[in-house]
């Protein structure tokens, strides 16, 4: 169905809200012209963001969720962080990348370096940041508009009656984008706008009881490694006063676990803390269980105060879990210590979180290749408090 002109205006206004777009002029490295400059992608931060939009949940004339999403991106993206918009089509079990671009911003150190190299540029790269951020918002808005144009329906058409829900395979749609998660380096923050009302041959949130275990990762060959998912809009289209919400959560807890996904947030609202990461690295880890060595990876991302953001640890033969806590690095020695808790059990049974405590060995920066930490993972004072070591992965 074609988009109404009124909506076209409102979404375009949203896209341009971050900065006014100047008249056309010649382009250049780090700014210039009227296009989003790809030079910022060269910063190559350790995290990228993927925004998934469930096209069966797009309601005509409702753009509040888009405003929320864009504001959250502007408040949390790292300088140069790649951001990709992907359309999910659960009615067909498919996905399609719509747009990708890098957030135009710089760290303090990057700003100093650019200032010292200003003679290489036709103008001061810092002067173009605000307008470049406007171009990013504009292009993001265009990508969402593309999905809207082909998918928006009336509220009545989007609403779901639990007694006769439409067929939707969100699992298969996500699995179709699985190649994006094949790298062993860095991490992906996935933001998913969907009611999560799975109803397919793979599973059904409307049929109880929900199975205690699901095996989508093995069945579909889809493991969405090194990711933290933030899901919002959950259950918003279902006409049952929230009665299905617990079943939806239980289903997706098992589904995401089987697909090696870490859950950062899951609910009606978008639960992302307003914080911009400044440091990040991927580590190879070895966990000792008796005489056996178990291998895996850990990803640490911190803000300026050392608080962990979108961080996780995964052991190949066990599972992957979110970790929350603090990485403290002494200002005089740069020696770092990690104090964190897992979001769910990794080496013990039950539902309680576990403690991850590690200290750096050596004098090199923890975020440079080859640095290492040692410590323990488990329940302090118990028989399950296992030795663990981590080494920063070097860049290829």
- What's residue 81's pLDDT? 96
For the segment 296-339, what is each residue's pLDDT rounded down to a tens digit? Answer: 999 999 999 999 999 999 998 888 999 999 999 887 667 899 99
Judged against a pLDDT cut of 60, whether residue 62 lies above it is answered with yes
**Window from 139-143, 211-215, 274-278, 366-370 with minimum mean pLDDT:** 366-370
Long-range contacts, 105-108 (Cβ 8 Å, 24+): 105/40, 105/77, 105/78, 105/79, 105/80, 105/129, 105/133, 106/40, 106/43, 106/79, 107/79, 107/278
Q: Which residue has the higher pLDDT, 274 or 12?
A: 274
**77-111 residues labelled b (16+ CB within 10 A) or e (exposed):** bbbbbbbbbbbbbbbebebeebbebbbbbbbeeee
- Strand ranges (DSSP E) for 144-195? 187-193
Band the pLDDT of 224: cuts 50, 70, 90: very high
Query: Pairing between strand 320-329 and 311-315?
Result: antiparallel
**How much of the chain exceeds pLDDT 70, in percent?**
86
Band the pLDDT of 19: cuts 50, 70, 90: very low
- Strand ranges (DSSP E) for 268-383? 279-289, 292-302, 311-315, 320-329, 336-342, 355-361, 372-378
Band the pLDDT of 118: cuts 50, 70, 90: low
Structure tokens given for 174:
């996500």
Judged against a pLDDT cut of 60, whether residue 31 lies above it is answered with no
Judged against a pLDDT cut of 80, whether residue 14 lies above it is answered with no
> Which residue is associated with the tokens 């959560």?
249
- What's residue 1's pLDDT? 38
Band the pLDDT of 115: cuts 50, 70, 90: low
Q: Which residue has the higher pLDDT, 228 or 185?
A: 228
pTM over 0.85: yes
Contact 34, 22 (CB under 8 A): yes
For the segment 274-291, what is each residue's pLDDT rounded down to a tens digit? Answer: 999 999 999 999 999 988
For the segment 381-396, what is each residue's pLDDT rounded down to a tens digit? Answer: 888 899 999 999 876 4
Contact 281, 392 (CB under 8 A): yes
For the segment 120-149, what is each residue's pLDDT rounded down to a tens digit? Answer: 454 566 678 889 999 999 999 999 999 999
- What's residue 395's pLDDT? 61
Provide mean pLDDT across the span 92-110: 91
Q: Can you spell out the DSSP letters for 58-91?
A: PBTT--HHHHHHHHHHHHHPPTT-EEEEEEEETT
10 Å CB burial of residue 148 (0-12, 13-18, 19+) is buried
Q: How far apart are CA 355 and CA 345, in angstroms?
A: 10
Contact 209, 68 (CB under 8 A): no
Q: How far apart are CA 240 and CA 312, in angstroms?
A: 35
Structure tokens given for 79:
């300088």
Judged against a pLDDT cut of 50, whether residue 93 lies above it is answered with yes
Q: Which residue has the higher pLDDT, 266 or 370?
A: 266
- What's residue 9's pLDDT? 39
Distances (CA, A) of 316 to 153, 219, 297: 43, 18, 8
- What's residue 120's pLDDT? 47
- What's residue 306's pLDDT? 94
Provide mean pLDDT across the span 362-390: 86
Task: Name residue 292's beta-bridge partners.
Answer: 289
């Amino acid at each position: 169905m074609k988009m109404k002109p009124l909506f076209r205006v409102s979404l375009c206004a949203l896209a341009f809200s971050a900065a006014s777009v100047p008249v056309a002029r010649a382009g250049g490295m780090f700014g210039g012209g009227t296009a989003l400059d790809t030079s910022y992608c060269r910063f190559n931060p350790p995290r990228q963001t993927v925004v998934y939009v469930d096209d069966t949940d797009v309601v005509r004339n409702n753009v509040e969720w888009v405003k929320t999403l864009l504001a959250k991106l502007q408040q949390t993206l790292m300088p140069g962080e790649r951001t990709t918009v992907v359309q999910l089509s659960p009615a067909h079990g498919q996905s399609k990348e719509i747009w990708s671009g890098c957030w135009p911003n710089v760290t303090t150190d990057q700003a100093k370096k650019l200032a010292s190299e200003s003679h290489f540029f036709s103008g001061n790269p810092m002067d173009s940041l605000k307008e470049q951020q406007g171009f990013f918002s504009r292009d993001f808005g265009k990508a969402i508009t593309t999905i809207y144009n082909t998918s928006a329906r009336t509220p009545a058409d989007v609403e779901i009656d639990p007694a006769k829900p439409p067929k939707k395979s969100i699992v298969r749609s996500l699995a179709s984008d699985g190649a994006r998660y094949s790298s062993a380096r860095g991490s992906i923050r996935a933001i998913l706008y969907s009611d999560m009302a799975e109803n397919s041959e793979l599973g059904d949130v409307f049929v109880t009881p929900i199975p205690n275990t699901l095996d989508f990762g093995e069945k579909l060959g889809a493991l969405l490694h090194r990711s933290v998912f933030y899901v919002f809009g959950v259950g918003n289209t279902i006409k049952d006063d929230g009665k299905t919400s617990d079943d939806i959560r239980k289903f997706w807890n098992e589904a995401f676990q089987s697909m090696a996904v870490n859950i950062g947030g899951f609910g009606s609202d978008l639960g992302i803390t307003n914080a911009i990461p400044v440091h990040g690295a991927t580590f190879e880890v070895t966990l000792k269980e008796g005489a056996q060595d178990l291998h895996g990876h850990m990803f640490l991302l911190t803000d300026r105060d050392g608080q962990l953001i979108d961080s996780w640890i995964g052991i190949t033969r066990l599972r992957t879990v979110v970790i929350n806590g603090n990485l403290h690095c002494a200002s005089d020695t740069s020696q770092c210590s990690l104090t964190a808790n897992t979001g769910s059990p990794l080496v013990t049974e039950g539902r309680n979180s576990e403690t991850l405590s590690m200290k750096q060995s050596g004098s090199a920066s923890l975020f440079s290749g080859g640095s290492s930490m040692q410590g323990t993972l488990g329940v302090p004072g118990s028989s399950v408090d296992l030795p663990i070591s981590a080494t920063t992965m070097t860049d290829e």
